[in-house]
Amino acid sequence: MEDKVKFFKALSDSNRLRILKMLQAKPLCVCEITYVLELAASTVSQHLKILKENGFIIEEKDGKWVNYLINPRPIDTRITTLLSSLDYWIADESIIIADKMKVINSDRNTICNKL
């Protein structure tokens, strides 16, 4: 049962849920996530670490960028089920909608140069 509790603990923070929903829109770097959440980069990095350790996301190096994205092939298939159910639970939340708009309309070159 402990492995199941770890999944739900990873999802128990609203900022981590917001990150997951943003990453469902497109891969993002820490700067972009920091920009949307308006949190310190160290706090965002800690959230990303938890999501990564639990198999929800992966990171990929792309030139000077480290992109975070939804794990397309998680070892535990329950992760895919949990991620797909996020739409049912939170997709219509105003903060999730605002985050998605911010992500879609943002330019990482501008954001990352400011931070």
The H or E element containing residue 70 is strand 65-70
Match 């509790």 to its residue by tokens.
5
Q: Residue 21 is part of a domain; what is its CATH number?
A: 1.10.10.10
pLDDT digits (tens, 9 = 90+) for 14-67: 999 999 999 999 999 999 999 999 999 999 999 999 999 999 999 999 888 899
Structure confidence at residue 115 (pLDDT): 58
Number of domains in the chain: 1
Residue 91 token pair: 């997709």
**Nearest residue to 68 via CA among 115, 7, 18:** 18
Structure confidence at residue 52 (pLDDT): 97
Q: Which residue has the higher pLDDT, 53 or 4?
A: 53
The H or E element containing residue 62 is strand 57-62
What count of other Cβ atoms lies within 10 Å of the Cβ of residue 21?
A: 22
Find the domain containing 36 and state its range: 2-114
pLDDT tier for residue 1 given thresholds of 50, 70 and 90: confident
Give the pTM.
0.92
